[in-house]
Amino acid sequence: MQLSSRLNLFNEPETLKMAKLGRELRAKGFDVIDLSLGEPDFDTPEHIKEAAKKAIDDNYSHYTPVAGYPDLREAVCFKLKRDNNLDYKPENIIVSTGAKQSLANVVLATVSKGDEVVIPTPYWVTYSEIVKLGEGVCKLVSTSVENKYKITPAQLEAAITDKTRLFIFSSPCNPSGSVYSKAELEGLAEVFRKFPNVFILSDEIYEYINFVGKHESIAQFEDLKDRVIVLNGLSKGFAMTGYRLGYVAAHPDVVKACEKLQGQFTSGTNSITQRAAIVALTSDLRPTEIMVEEFARRKKRVLEIIAAIPGLELAEPDGAFYVFPIVSSYFGKSDGNETIKDADDLCMYILNNAHVSTVTGRAFGEPTCIRISFANSMEKIEEGWKRISAALAKLK
Ligand code: PMP
C-alpha cells in the first residue's frame, strides 16, 4: 500500500510504544508494572467531574468557537494572572485538544521549511517529531548533568543562527525534572534580546508539579512577551489527560494562525471538556496540592532506592514525576544471555526480565539515560524498583 512520504519524516512516540509493549506482555499473563507513562495516577477532582456532567445535562453539545468558549479564554487569563502574575486578554488565548495539539499548532504556525528550531536535550519526545513533520530542522543542544540538564546562555547564543525561528523548552522539564529559576530565565532572556526574530515556546505543563517553590515563566519579561508562547494544559496538574485540553497564551497574530490551522484540523476541542476546564482553572488548587505532596513523598523514596543501587547517576528532579538516571555504566554488561549495548537494550532487558516498563533516554535526545516515572502507587513503585534492582544486579 502506498502511503504518504510525510509519514517517513517523523517517528511514533517512544513513550506510547513502551506502554503498548507493556500492555502486550500483560495480555500474555505477566504482571507488568508501568513506570513508563507520563500521567498522574490520580482521579480527576470531583468538582471538575461534576462540571463535566452538568455540561452534558445543560446541552453543551454543539460546535464551540474554534479558539474556545469566550468564558474559557477568560478563565485561562484569570489563571495566568492568579498563578503567574501575567496579564493576557482572551485574544491572546487559544485552547486545543491537549497541549500536544497546541504544540503542533504553534510549530506549524511559526516554522517554515528549512527553518531551524533550537531544542535543549533532553527534551519531550514530541518536540523534535513535530518540527520534522513541519519540515523544520532541529538543532539539538546537549546540556550536562552537572548543570542539571539546563541550557546555559552561552550554549543558547552559540546555537542561534539567522535561520533560527523557534526555541522550545519545558520547565519543569520532562524528562529531567529540571526547573529554571528566575535568574536562569533572565540569563536566557538576555540572549533572546539580541535575536528579535526568534519565538520562544515555553512548555509549562508541569508547572504545579514543582518541588522547589514558585514556578517562573519566561513570559514575565515584558520586552520579550510578544515573542513568548506559553504552552500549558490540564493533563498533569488536574489529572485530566483523557479530557484533552491544552492552551497557549501568545501574541494575537500567533493565536490567529493557530486558529486557522485548528479550524481545518479539529474545529476546536470538546465542548464538555471546555466547560469542565473553566471550573478547573478558576477553583481552589487544594486537590492539585495534595497530589503534588504525594509525588514529593514518592520522589524521596525513589531517591533513597536509587542511592542504594550501584552505577546509577542522577540529577535530583526539582519538578515533574520522573527520575532520569544515567545508566551507561551498564552498557557492555551481560546477564549471561544478552549484552546491553545501549539504553534501548536496557529498557527492553528491564521489561522482559523485571516486567517493568520504562522509556529509553534516546527518545528524549539523551541516550545515556532512561526515564522512570513515579506517577504510580507507592506499592507499585516499591515492587517495580525491587525488580529493577534485582535485574540490574545480574548484569556483570
Ligand atoms: N508537554 C510535555 C512536556 C508533556 O510531557 C506532555 C504530555 N506527556 C505534553 C506537553 C502534552 O500534554 P497533553 O497533550 O496531554 O495536554
H-state helical runs in 126-251: 126-133, 153-159, 182-192
SS percent in the chain: helix, strand, coil, step 5 = 45, 15, 40
CB of 241 closer than 6 angstroms to any ligand 1 atom: yes
Does ligand 1 have an atom closer than 6 angstroms to the CB of 98?
A: yes
Cβ atoms of residues 247 and 102 within 8 Å: yes
pLDDT level of residue 18 (50, 70, 90 thresholds) = confident
Residues 177 and 58 reside in one and the same domain: yes
CATH of the domain at 55: 3.40.640.10
CATH number at residue 352: 3.90.1150.10
Domain boundary among 247, 282, 317: 282
Distance from the alpha carbon of residue 29 to the mean position of ligand 1, in angstroms: 30
Q: Are residues 255 and 336 in the same domain?
A: no
Q: Measured in angstroms, how far is the CA atom of residue 205 from the centroid of ligand 1?
A: 7
How does pLDDT run across 39-63, given as a tens digit for each residue? 999 999 999 999 999 999 999 999 9
Question: Same domain for 229 and 297?
Answer: no
With a 6 Å cutoff on the Cβ, whether 205 touches ligand 1 is yes
Task: Using pLDDT thresholds of 50, 70 and 90, give the confidence band for residue 14.
Answer: confident
What CA–CA distance (Å, rounded) separates 196 from 286?
A: 40
Instruction: Give the separation between CA 381 and CA 298, rounded to whole angstroms.
Output: 8
**For the segment 107-165, what is each residue's pLDDT rounded down to a tens digit?**
999 999 999 999 999 999 999 999 999 999 999 999 999 999 999 999 999 999 999 99
Distance 132 CA to ligand 1 centre (A): 18
Instruction: Evaluate whether 109 touches 258 at the Cβ level (below 8 Å).
Output: yes
Q: Are residues 206 and 66 in the same domain?
A: yes
Give the count of domains, the chain.
2
CB atoms within 10 A of CB 58: 10
pLDDT digits (tens, 9 = 90+) for 246-274: 999 999 999 999 999 999 999 999 999 99
Note whether 208 and 335 are same-domain residues.
no
- DSSP for 258-277 reads HHHHHHHHTSSS-HHHHHHH
Looking at the fold, whether 303 and 220 belong to one and the same domain comes out as no
Same domain, 53 and 163: yes
Ligand 1: centre distance to CA 395 (Å): 34
> Are 325 and 362 in the same domain?
yes
Q: Are residues 270 and 140 in the same domain?
A: yes
> Rounded to a whole number, what is the distance in angstroms from the first to the last CA of the chain?
46
Reply yes or no on whether the pLDDT at 309 is more than 90: yes
* pTM of the full structure: 0.97
> What is the tens place of the pLDDT at every residue in 135-150?
999 999 999 999 999 9
**pLDDT value of residue 72:** 98
Q: Which of 232, 255, 282 is the last residue of a domain?
A: 282
Pocket lining: 170 vs ligand 1, CB cutoff 6 Å:
yes
- Examine the domain organization and report whether 55 and 74 are in the same domain: yes
> Looking at the predicted structure, is the pLDDT value of residue 37 above 90?
no
Q: Cα separations (Å) of 241 from 40, 91, 156?
A: 8, 25, 32
Residue 20 pLDDT more than 90? Answer: no
Domain of 363, in residue numbers: 5-43+287-393
Q: Which band of pLDDT confidence, cut at 50, 70 and 90, is reported for residue 17? A: confident
**How far is it, in rounded angstroms, from Cα 134 to Cα 128?**
10
Ramachandran assignment for 227, one of left (phi > 0), alpha (psi -120 to 50 degrees), beta (any other)? alpha
